[in-house]
Structure 1
Amino acid sequence: MITAAALAALATACAFGAWRFTTAQWTSRAPRLAIILWQALGVAWGLASSGALLAYAVMPYDAGVLHGLIAFASAQPAAGEWDLPHILAMVGGLTLLAVLVVVTITAMIQTLRARSRHRVLLSLVAREDPVVPGVRVVDHPGPAAYCVPGWNSQVVVSAGAMELLSQDELTAVLAHEAAHVRERHDLVLLPFAALRRALPWAKVVRDAQAQVELLVEMAADDRARRYCSPRRLATALLRFGTAGSMPTPHGMLGLHSQVMARVDRLIKPAPELSRSFRYSLLVLAVTLTTSAPLLWVIPA
């Protein structure tokens, strides 16, 4: 019962923390750290929510969550009595765990298929251009720049974007998209998209996905400004916004409010977080990530 209560308390704390985190003001000053904390909250909430139900369900075995599930699967006799609440908790816990796993795998498969189809289309309509070596160019008048991540990753830019942007601005945009590829931001976004499918009615999940999408763009901006001027990237964003961009699979613009937040951040960067605050957040992320699995494996 103590394990079930601890897991339920952890799930509640993660849900409340995610709700408060959506309005945090420091995240734009350390987007990578904020992404790590969001991932830790998601992992801890999923394992704690399903684990709390399963911990209560296997209480008759008096062996902890994981050992109790093993005993249940192997049809070992229980020390206590099974009743309807324990059966319902088992069904609920296994259902929640299965839904989270299935939607994640489904989202991954669908994403891989969509990327494969998109690569085939690019092989038909895109071309190489000596002006941007290593980048695929699509002859479309609308401005667009995006990446197709994966083993055979590609950065794609439209002819309209090449005409719209100066050489420095184009370099900044391509550095931004290369950062998405290098840091595998597609893998960062995948669990949040899957959680949105599993819980489409939850406002906190929608807000979390939107914030992580913005944080990913900010992280790519930070990586890009190692190779280009932040002002050049900001002006490129503004040019895209005023010209109107064509739809892309992984567009770099997003909502207008997000673009302006990124532009303000590039032009007027805020001071970095203190080292003690960064370390505290990192310790919190590690604690969240490890606490739920630890409560799963400890015996009763």
Structure 2
Amino acid sequence: MTAAALLALISLGTIGGAHLLSQARWTWHAPRTGILLWQALGLGWGVATIGALLSVALLPYGQGIVQGMPALLGDRGARLGPVHVAALLAAVSLAAVLLVMLGYAIIRVVRARRRHRALLALVSRSDASVPHGTLVLDHPEAAAYCVPGVRSSKVVVSAGTLALLDQAELAAVLAHERAHARERHDLVLLPFASLRQVFPQIRLVGRCLDAVELLIEMAADDRARRHRPSRELATALLRFAAARPAAAPSGTLGVADAGGFPVMARVNRLLDPMPVGRYTRCAATTAIPLVGVVPLLLYALPH
């Protein structure tokens, strides 16, 4: 029972950790660390929850998960009682649903991007006022987004954006979108988006996705300000927020949305950056491998 109890505690602990992290503000000043911690919590929850169910299912064999699975397959579950069978079915079902929904999310995003790339080939154009490789849409509303890709990514701006921003602000926005493409932030979002599809009624899952989305934007802001002054991007974000841009197309990553709070949080940290405390950063970097790896190690622990 030791492995099952520890895995159950870790599963509950990751849920509590996700609740606390969704309300944390130190992550705004270390977004990459925050993203890694979110990924560790998500992985830890999935591995620990499935592992706890498998541990209960394999209790009759007394050998843990790694050694108990061959024993289960060898006697075709002859030793399992109703509770053990129910736990086994729950573990297999949860693992299958998570994997299937992740695959579905990937397929849906790939199709949306393929359609959007085909549309861009028809309606977009090049423009001398933007760097080579940036596409321009003749649309009056402000829009700027990245269409990620394996072999090539596209950065798209609208004619409304060119009219809204000056050259310095436009350069900062393009640097932000190129950061999304280089760091493949779309891949970071996929597991959290698929998790929301699995548990659409659970508010905590929605808060987790919102928090990761904001941290991804902040990470792209940080990369952009390596090349451009922070004030340029901050003023561009304020102009976008005032213009109330439409949501970025499905499968893309936009520079800003119409929501005031996330934009102001990004602007404030750009204009007044604050370092994360040493102890907070050390605690977070220590927790990342522990939360992600310890549940896997418990799979080998005998009952």
- Smaller-chain TM-score bracket: over 0.9
Matched, 1:140 2:139: yes
Partner of 1:154: 154
Q: 1:54 & 1:77 partners in 2: Cα distance?
A: 13
Q: What residue in structure 2 maps to residue 126 of structure 1?
A: 124
Q: Distance in 1 between matches of 2:237 and 2:73?
A: 55
Give the superposition deviation at 1:76.
5.5
**CA distance in structure 1 between the partners assigned to 2:19 and 2:210 by the alignment:** 13
| CA–CA distance in structure 1, aligned partners of residues 200 and 248 of structure 2 | 23
Residue 128 (structure 1) shift = 1.4
1:292 corresponds to which of 292, 295, 298: 295
Q: Please name the residue that 1:179 is paired with.
A: 179
**Structure 1 runs not aligned, ≥5 long:** none
Q: Which of 276, 281, 296 matches 1:278? A: 281
Partner Cα distance (2:73, 2:183) in 1: 40
Q: Distance in 2 between matches of 1:15 and 1:111?
A: 27
* Partner-residue secondary structure (3-state), 2:299: helix
TM superposition shift of 1:90:
0.7
Asked if the contact 2:234–2:267 (Cα under 8 Å) also holds between the matched residues in 1, the reply is yes
- Structure 2 counterpart of 1:86: 84
Q: Which amino acid aligns with 2:114?
A: S
Distance in 1 between the 2:181 and 2:167 partners?
21
Whether 2:271 is the aligned partner of 1:261: answer no
Q: Distance in 2 between matches of 1:77 and 1:84?
A: 11
1:160-193 deviations in whole A, cap 9, x for unaligned? 1011100000000000000000111001111110
Question: Aligned ranges for residues 241-252 of structure 1 at < 5 Å?
Answer: 241-249=241-249, 250-252=253-255
52-61 or 67-76, which deviates more: 67-76
Kindly provide the CA deviation profile for residues 172-227 of structure 1, in whole angstroms up to 9, marking residues without a partner as x: 00000000001110011111101111111111111111011001001100000011
Aligned length: 297
Tell me which moved more, 158-167 or 18-27.
18-27
Task: Tell me the CA shift for residue 267 of structure 1.
Answer: 1.4
1:229 matched residue in structure 2:
229
Residue of structure 1 in register with 2:94 after alignment: 96
Who is 1:7 aligned against? Answer: 7
Structure 2, gaps ≥5 residues long: none
- For structure 1, which segment, 28-37 or 129-138, has the greater mean C-alpha deviation from structure 2 after superposition? 129-138
2:125 counterpart SS class: strand
Letter in 2 for 1:122: L
Please, what TM-score do these two structures have when normalized by structure 1? 0.95
Alignment TM-score, normalising by the size of structure 2: 0.94
Deviation at 1:244, TM superposition (A): 2.1
Identity, in percent, stands at 48
Equivalent-residue separation in structure 2 for 1:95 and 1:216 (angstroms): 31
Q: Name the residue aligned to 1:55.
A: 55
Moved more, 276-285 or 5-14: 276-285
- CA deviations on 1:142-176 (whole Å, 9 max, x unpaired) are 11000000122111111110111000000000000
Q: 2:4 touches 2:56 (CA, 8 Å); kept in 1?
A: yes
Q: CA offsets, 1:238-282, max 9 Å, x none? A: 111112213322322132210111111111222x12334322211
